[in-house]
Chain A
Amino acid sequence: MQGHSEERPVDKSPVAPDRAEVYEVFVRPRRGLSHTHVGSVHAHGPDTALRYARDLYTRRTEGVGLWVVPAAAIKSSNPDEKDMFFDPAEDKTYRHANSYEVPEGVEHL
C-alpha cells in the first residue's frame, strides 16, 4: 500500500481525474453528414478520450471529425417508461406525410 494511493502534494491543479471514465464516441464520416455514435472508450479525461477514440474508431479512414462525450452527461430515456414515451405516437398517422398527394411539377420533395 505504501505510497501507491497517497496523493502527492502539488501546487498545480490535478491533470486528470483519478479514475477512468466512459466516453461515448461519435464519428463524422464525411463532411456534410452528422456525427454518428460508434461506441465508447475508457479514459482519464477528455483529451485522452479523444486520442483513444481516434486510435480505435478512425484507423481505417472512417471519419473526418470526432466527438467524445462523457457518458455520465447523457440523460437517457428509461426503458421501463418505453410504453409511455413511444407508444402514443403509433396511432397518429396524421403526423406522417403519407396521405399528402405530391402536387404536380414539384421537384426535389
Chain B
Amino acid sequence: MSKPLIQLIDIRKKFQSGKITYEVLKGINLEVYMGDFLAIMGPSGGGKSTLLNILGLLDRPDSGLYLFEGREVNTFSEKELSRLRNQKIGFIFQAFHLIPWATALENTLLPALYGGEITKEKIQRAHELLEKLGLGDKKNHKPAELSGGQQQRVAIARALINNPTLLLADEPTGNLDSQSSEEVIKIFENLNKEGLTIIMVTHEREIAQRAKKIKFLKDGKFIED
C-alpha cells in the first residue's frame, strides 16, 4: 500500500476553561489514504470538531505527530499553513459560511483570491463547477436568494475551486432537509469516485453509511466497532 495522505500519531489536545483543564483529544491515531471517504461519528463533546480543526490545519495539537503528505505539519509557519489550506484542503461547514454580499460566483472564487490571482482559468473553472452542481442559473444570486441546499452546493464549488487533495466536511447536511441532504451526499460520492479524499464529521447514521469507512469518536478516543 502507498504512503498515507494523512497520518496522525498520538494526537492530544487540551482546553482550559477557568481553572479546569479538559483533555478533548486523548491520543488519536489515524491513517487516511488517497481516495478514502471517511465518516467520523460520535456524541457531542466527543472531540469531533477539535479533530477536524487539527486535520484542517486551523488548530495545532498540543502533542503528537501530524504528517500531511508525509511532511510534519507542526514545523510549518503560519504562512505555510495558510498556503496549504488554500491549495490542498477544501472546507464544507454546517452553516455554509458564504459571504452574504457576494454572488455565488464570487463566493466560489474567494479561495482563488487568496491563492494569488483570479485568472481567466479560475473564472472558467468556477462557471464549470457551478454548472456541474446544477447552479448554472444561480451564478449571480446572493446567498440570501438561495435555498439551503443551493448554498451548500455553492460552498462545495468554493471548496473545489483550487483543486484540493482533501475535502473536510463538518456536518455538511446538518442544516439541510432530507432531499437536499441526499443531493449533497450524492455529490460527495461522485467526487470520491473521481478520486477526491473526503473526511466528513456527522451524527446522522444514514449519511455516515454512505462513506466507505466509519470511525466513532468518544471521550477523545476512537473506539473500534
**A associates with B:** no
B interface, CB within 8 angstroms of A: none
